[in-house]
Amino acid sequence: MIVFTALTIGFTIVFVALHYRRTIQINLTQKRGIQQVVAIKQLISYIQQHRGLSSAWLNGDESKQANLTQLKKQISLLKNATASQISASVKSRWEAFDDHWQRLQNTQNKTSALDNFQQHTKLIANLIYMLEDVAEFHDLNGSQLKPLPEIGLVWRELVLATENIGQSRAIGTGAATSKKCSQVDKIRLAYLQQDIANTAESVLHQLPLLDRSSNDYQQLTLAAKQKVSLLSETISNELIGGQVVNIDQTVYFNLATAAMDSLNQIFEYQINQVKQVLKLA
Protein backbone atom coordinates (compact mmCIF):
# COMPACT_ATOMS: atom_id res chain seq x y z
CA MET A 1 0.00 0.00 0.00
CA ILE A 2 2.90 2.23 0.79
CA VAL A 3 4.31 1.59 -2.64
CA PHE A 4 0.98 2.34 -4.23
CA THR A 5 0.67 5.58 -2.28
CA ALA A 6 4.21 6.54 -3.15
CA LEU A 7 3.61 5.87 -6.81
CA THR A 8 0.38 7.87 -6.73
CA ILE A 9 2.13 10.82 -5.08
CA GLY A 10 4.96 10.54 -7.59
CA PHE A 11 2.60 10.51 -10.53
CA THR A 12 0.71 13.47 -9.08
CA ILE A 13 3.92 15.45 -8.72
CA VAL A 14 4.88 14.60 -12.31
CA PHE A 15 1.38 15.59 -13.45
CA VAL A 16 1.52 18.97 -11.68
CA ALA A 17 5.02 19.63 -13.00
CA LEU A 18 4.01 18.81 -16.56
CA HIS A 19 0.90 20.97 -16.29
CA TYR A 20 2.91 23.89 -14.97
CA ARG A 21 5.49 23.45 -17.69
CA ARG A 22 2.81 23.32 -20.37
CA THR A 23 1.11 26.45 -19.08
CA ILE A 24 4.40 28.35 -19.05
CA GLN A 25 5.26 27.14 -22.55
CA ILE A 26 1.93 28.28 -24.01
CA ASN A 27 2.18 31.64 -22.31
CA LEU A 28 5.75 32.12 -23.49
CA THR A 29 4.80 31.13 -27.03
CA GLN A 30 1.95 33.62 -27.01
CA LYS A 31 4.20 36.41 -25.68
CA ARG A 32 6.74 35.74 -28.40
CA GLY A 33 3.90 35.64 -30.91
CA ILE A 34 2.48 39.00 -29.89
CA GLN A 35 5.95 40.59 -30.12
CA GLN A 36 6.41 39.23 -33.61
CA VAL A 37 2.91 40.25 -34.67
CA VAL A 38 3.53 43.84 -33.52
CA ALA A 39 6.89 43.92 -35.29
CA ILE A 40 5.47 42.49 -38.53
CA LYS A 41 2.54 44.93 -38.44
CA GLN A 42 4.99 47.80 -38.06
CA LEU A 43 7.00 46.39 -40.94
CA ILE A 44 3.83 46.29 -43.05
CA SER A 45 3.14 49.94 -42.23
CA TYR A 46 6.70 50.88 -43.21
CA ILE A 47 6.50 48.97 -46.50
CA GLN A 48 3.15 50.63 -47.24
CA GLN A 49 4.75 54.02 -46.69
CA HIS A 50 7.71 52.98 -48.85
CA ARG A 51 5.30 51.96 -51.62
CA GLY A 52 3.73 55.43 -51.63
CA LEU A 53 7.01 57.35 -51.41
CA SER A 54 8.82 55.28 -54.05
CA SER A 55 5.80 55.60 -56.35
CA ALA A 56 5.90 59.38 -56.00
CA TRP A 57 9.69 59.35 -56.52
CA LEU A 58 9.36 57.21 -59.67
CA ASN A 59 6.75 59.67 -60.94
CA GLY A 60 9.34 62.44 -60.71
CA ASP A 61 8.90 63.82 -57.20
CA GLU A 62 12.58 64.13 -56.20
CA SER A 63 11.65 65.68 -52.85
CA LYS A 64 10.75 62.20 -51.58
CA GLN A 65 14.35 60.95 -51.87
CA ALA A 66 15.33 62.04 -48.35
CA ASN A 67 12.21 60.47 -46.82
CA LEU A 68 12.87 57.25 -48.73
CA THR A 69 16.43 57.02 -47.44
CA GLN A 70 15.26 57.60 -43.88
CA LEU A 71 12.47 55.03 -44.24
CA LYS A 72 14.86 52.42 -45.66
CA LYS A 73 17.04 52.82 -42.57
CA GLN A 74 14.02 52.33 -40.30
CA ILE A 75 12.94 49.24 -42.25
CA SER A 76 16.46 47.86 -42.13
CA LEU A 77 16.69 48.37 -38.35
CA LEU A 78 13.29 46.80 -37.71
CA LYS A 79 14.01 43.93 -40.10
CA ASN A 80 17.29 43.11 -38.38
CA ALA A 81 15.68 43.30 -34.94
CA THR A 82 12.78 41.06 -35.97
CA ALA A 83 14.87 38.48 -37.86
CA SER A 84 16.24 37.01 -34.63
CA GLN A 85 12.73 36.66 -33.14
CA ILE A 86 11.10 35.00 -36.12
CA SER A 87 9.96 31.43 -35.41
CA ALA A 88 11.07 28.49 -37.46
CA SER A 89 7.49 27.90 -38.56
CA VAL A 90 7.48 31.08 -40.68
CA LYS A 91 11.18 31.10 -41.51
CA SER A 92 10.60 30.35 -45.18
CA ARG A 93 8.19 33.27 -45.48
CA TRP A 94 10.65 35.53 -43.71
CA GLU A 95 13.47 34.51 -46.03
CA ALA A 96 11.20 35.08 -49.03
CA PHE A 97 10.39 38.55 -47.70
CA ASP A 98 14.06 39.33 -47.05
CA ASP A 99 15.08 38.22 -50.52
CA HIS A 100 12.22 40.10 -52.19
CA TRP A 101 13.01 43.26 -50.27
CA GLN A 102 16.68 43.12 -51.28
CA ARG A 103 15.74 42.62 -54.95
CA LEU A 104 13.22 45.44 -54.74
CA GLN A 105 15.85 47.81 -53.41
CA ASN A 106 18.36 46.80 -56.08
CA THR A 107 15.89 47.37 -58.91
CA GLN A 108 14.36 50.53 -57.44
CA ASN A 109 15.92 52.83 -60.04
CA LYS A 110 15.15 50.62 -63.03
CA THR A 111 11.53 49.66 -62.46
CA SER A 112 8.31 51.35 -63.60
CA ALA A 113 5.79 52.89 -61.20
CA LEU A 114 3.27 50.11 -61.96
CA ASP A 115 5.78 47.33 -61.41
CA ASN A 116 7.02 49.06 -58.26
CA PHE A 117 3.44 49.11 -56.94
CA GLN A 118 2.85 45.45 -57.79
CA GLN A 119 6.11 44.31 -56.21
CA HIS A 120 5.43 46.22 -52.98
CA THR A 121 1.89 44.82 -52.89
CA LYS A 122 3.18 41.25 -53.23
CA LEU A 123 5.72 41.94 -50.51
CA ILE A 124 3.01 43.27 -48.19
CA ALA A 125 0.72 40.30 -48.99
CA ASN A 126 3.52 37.95 -47.92
CA LEU A 127 3.96 39.91 -44.67
CA ILE A 128 0.22 39.79 -43.98
CA TYR A 129 0.21 36.00 -44.46
CA MET A 130 3.27 35.84 -42.23
CA LEU A 131 1.50 37.86 -39.53
CA GLU A 132 -1.47 35.48 -39.54
CA ASP A 133 0.82 32.42 -39.56
CA VAL A 134 2.78 33.81 -36.62
CA ALA A 135 -0.43 34.45 -34.70
CA GLU A 136 -1.75 30.96 -35.43
CA PHE A 137 1.52 29.16 -34.71
CA HIS A 138 1.85 31.07 -31.44
CA ASP A 139 -1.60 30.12 -30.18
CA LEU A 140 -2.99 33.64 -30.64
CA ASN A 141 -6.26 32.31 -31.98
CA GLY A 142 -9.79 32.10 -30.72
CA SER A 143 -9.26 28.58 -29.36
CA GLN A 144 -6.47 29.67 -27.07
CA LEU A 145 -7.60 33.23 -26.32
CA LYS A 146 -11.02 32.29 -25.01
CA PRO A 147 -12.09 35.85 -24.07
CA LEU A 148 -11.35 36.95 -27.65
CA PRO A 149 -13.00 34.28 -29.80
CA GLU A 150 -12.95 36.34 -33.03
CA ILE A 151 -9.34 37.47 -32.69
CA GLY A 152 -8.60 35.79 -36.05
CA LEU A 153 -10.46 38.69 -37.75
CA VAL A 154 -7.79 41.05 -36.41
CA TRP A 155 -4.91 39.03 -37.87
CA ARG A 156 -6.49 38.72 -41.30
CA GLU A 157 -9.55 40.84 -42.13
CA LEU A 158 -8.50 43.98 -40.26
CA VAL A 159 -4.94 43.91 -41.62
CA LEU A 160 -6.21 43.17 -45.14
CA ALA A 161 -8.70 46.02 -44.90
CA THR A 162 -5.89 48.39 -43.96
CA GLU A 163 -3.84 47.09 -46.87
CA ASN A 164 -6.78 47.50 -49.26
CA ILE A 165 -7.07 51.13 -48.19
CA GLY A 166 -3.29 51.42 -48.67
CA GLN A 167 -3.62 50.11 -52.23
CA SER A 168 -6.54 52.42 -52.96
CA ARG A 169 -4.43 55.27 -51.53
CA ALA A 170 -1.57 54.48 -53.90
CA ILE A 171 -3.79 54.02 -56.99
CA GLY A 172 -6.07 56.97 -56.15
CA THR A 173 -3.21 59.35 -55.43
CA GLY A 174 -1.68 58.48 -58.81
CA ALA A 175 -5.02 59.09 -60.53
CA ALA A 176 -5.55 62.36 -58.65
CA THR A 177 -2.05 63.49 -59.65
CA SER A 178 -2.52 62.72 -63.35
CA LYS A 179 -6.19 63.81 -63.21
CA LYS A 180 -7.09 60.67 -65.10
CA CYS A 181 -8.30 57.30 -63.84
CA SER A 182 -7.67 54.46 -66.31
CA GLN A 183 -10.18 51.67 -66.81
CA VAL A 184 -7.90 49.16 -65.09
CA ASP A 185 -7.44 51.51 -62.13
CA LYS A 186 -11.22 51.87 -61.95
CA ILE A 187 -11.65 48.10 -61.89
CA ARG A 188 -9.08 47.68 -59.14
CA LEU A 189 -10.49 50.61 -57.17
CA ALA A 190 -14.03 49.20 -57.51
CA TYR A 191 -12.88 45.87 -56.12
CA LEU A 192 -10.96 47.54 -53.29
CA GLN A 193 -13.86 49.89 -52.59
CA GLN A 194 -16.25 46.94 -52.20
CA ASP A 195 -13.92 45.37 -49.68
CA ILE A 196 -13.39 48.65 -47.84
CA ALA A 197 -17.15 49.25 -47.65
CA ASN A 198 -17.65 45.68 -46.42
CA THR A 199 -15.05 46.27 -43.70
CA ALA A 200 -16.87 49.39 -42.53
CA GLU A 201 -20.21 47.61 -42.51
CA SER A 202 -19.41 44.22 -40.99
CA VAL A 203 -15.86 43.43 -39.88
CA LEU A 204 -15.52 46.33 -37.44
CA HIS A 205 -18.63 45.15 -35.58
CA GLN A 206 -17.46 41.55 -35.39
CA LEU A 207 -14.09 42.28 -33.80
CA PRO A 208 -13.69 40.85 -30.30
CA LEU A 209 -14.09 43.09 -27.30
CA LEU A 210 -13.29 42.39 -23.65
CA ASP A 211 -15.43 45.20 -22.35
CA ARG A 212 -18.54 45.71 -24.48
CA SER A 213 -19.34 48.94 -22.70
CA SER A 214 -15.96 50.51 -23.48
CA ASN A 215 -16.53 54.06 -24.71
CA ASP A 216 -13.00 54.30 -26.09
CA TYR A 217 -13.51 51.36 -28.40
CA GLN A 218 -16.94 52.55 -29.51
CA GLN A 219 -15.47 55.94 -30.39
CA LEU A 220 -12.61 54.29 -32.26
CA THR A 221 -15.05 52.11 -34.21
CA LEU A 222 -17.36 55.02 -34.97
CA ALA A 223 -14.50 57.23 -36.15
CA ALA A 224 -13.06 54.43 -38.29
CA LYS A 225 -16.45 53.66 -39.80
CA GLN A 226 -17.00 57.33 -40.68
CA LYS A 227 -13.54 57.76 -42.19
CA VAL A 228 -13.71 54.51 -44.15
CA SER A 229 -17.22 55.34 -45.40
CA LEU A 230 -16.07 58.81 -46.46
CA LEU A 231 -13.13 57.31 -48.32
CA SER A 232 -15.37 54.72 -49.94
CA GLU A 233 -17.79 57.42 -51.13
CA THR A 234 -14.90 59.54 -52.39
CA ILE A 235 -13.51 56.63 -54.40
CA SER A 236 -16.94 55.94 -55.82
CA ASN A 237 -17.83 59.54 -56.69
CA GLU A 238 -14.48 61.11 -57.54
CA LEU A 239 -12.47 58.27 -59.08
CA ILE A 240 -14.78 55.55 -60.40
CA GLY A 241 -17.92 57.50 -61.27
CA GLY A 242 -16.63 60.60 -63.05
CA GLN A 243 -14.96 60.95 -66.43
CA VAL A 244 -12.54 63.54 -65.09
CA VAL A 245 -10.75 63.36 -61.76
CA ASN A 246 -11.16 66.66 -59.93
CA ILE A 247 -10.09 65.79 -56.39
CA ASP A 248 -6.75 67.16 -55.23
CA GLN A 249 -4.09 64.48 -54.67
CA THR A 250 -3.20 65.79 -51.20
CA VAL A 251 -6.84 65.83 -50.11
CA TYR A 252 -7.32 62.24 -51.29
CA PHE A 253 -4.02 61.07 -49.77
CA ASN A 254 -4.96 62.59 -46.41
CA LEU A 255 -8.44 60.99 -46.54
CA ALA A 256 -6.98 57.54 -47.18
CA THR A 257 -4.22 58.00 -44.59
CA ALA A 258 -6.79 59.04 -41.97
CA ALA A 259 -8.83 55.90 -42.72
CA MET A 260 -5.70 53.71 -42.44
CA ASP A 261 -4.71 55.38 -39.18
CA SER A 262 -8.16 54.79 -37.71
CA LEU A 263 -7.91 51.05 -38.51
CA ASN A 264 -4.36 50.95 -37.14
CA GLN A 265 -5.66 52.43 -33.89
CA ILE A 266 -8.22 49.64 -33.68
CA PHE A 267 -5.44 47.13 -34.34
CA GLU A 268 -3.42 48.62 -31.47
CA TYR A 269 -6.50 48.44 -29.25
CA GLN A 270 -6.89 44.76 -30.10
CA ILE A 271 -3.20 44.12 -29.38
CA ASN A 272 -3.66 45.71 -25.97
CA GLN A 273 -6.66 43.46 -25.36
CA VAL A 274 -4.56 40.40 -26.20
CA LYS A 275 -1.84 41.65 -23.86
CA GLN A 276 -4.46 42.05 -21.15
CA VAL A 277 -5.58 38.47 -21.63
CA LEU A 278 -1.97 37.31 -21.56
CA LYS A 279 -1.41 39.51 -18.53
CA LEU A 280 1.30 41.48 -20.31
CA ALA A 281 -0.35 44.86 -20.02
Partner 1 sequence: METLFKPQFTLINYIGVKQSFSLALLIAAVALFFPLLNPEYAQGNIAVFTLFNVVALYFIAGVTWISLFYVNAILDAITSVSPERFDPRQIKMIDAIPHDTANKLVAPLRELARINDLHVAKLKEVAYSAGQVIETANAVSKNVQYQSDATSSTASAIVEMTHSLQEVSDKISDVHESSRRAATVAQDGKCNLDALGNSIYEVNVQAKQTQGRMQQLKGLAAQVEDSSHSIQNIAQQTNLLALNASIEAARAGQFGAGFAVVAEEVRELASRSHHSAEEIVTAALSVLQQCNDIVDDMANVVEKTANCSDRADKVKQSLSDIESATKDVQHRMEIVSTNAEQQSIATNEISQHIEQVALGAKANADIAKQSETVASHLKSLTI
Helical ranges in the chain per DSSP H: 2-58, 65-83, 91-106, 113-137, 152-153, 159-178, 183-198, 204-206, 215-234, 249-277
Rounded Cα distance between 93 and 107, Å, is: 21
Of 109, 207, 117, 116, nearest in space to 158 by CA: 207
Contact 175, 200 (CB under 8 A): no
For residue 206, report the phi and psi dihedrals to the nearest 5 degrees.
Answer: -95, -10
Provide, rounded to whole angstroms, the least separation between the CB of residue 72 and partner 1: 29
Q: Which of 9, 13, 77, 190 binds partner 1 (CB under 8 A)?
A: 190
Report d(CA 228, CA 244) in Å as an integer: 23
How many residues interact with partner 1 (rule CB under 8 A)? Answer: 32
Q: Which of 13, 66, 184, 222 binds partner 1 (CB under 8 A)?
A: 184
Stretch that binds partner 1, among 171-179, 181-189, 223-231, 257-265 (CB under 8 A): 181-189
x/- contact string, 16-35, with partner 1 (CB under 8 A)?
A: --xx--x---x---------
Give the integer Cα–Cα distance in Å for 24 and 20: 6
Stretch that binds partner 1, among 169-177, 182-190, 214-222, 270-278 (CB under 8 A): 182-190
Q: Please tell me the distance from the alpha carbon of residue 53 to that of residue 57, in angstroms, as a whole number.
A: 6
Residue 7 C-beta: closest distance to partner 1, Å: 6
Which one among 133, 148, 168, 171 touches partner 1, defined by CB under 8 A?
133
- Between residues 152 and 174, which has the closer beta carbon with respect to partner 1? 152
Amino acid identity at 100: H
Interface with partner 1 (CB under 8 A): 1, 3-4, 7, 11, 14-15, 18-19, 22, 26, 89, 129, 132-133, 136-137, 139, 141-144, 152, 182-184, 186-188, 190-191, 194
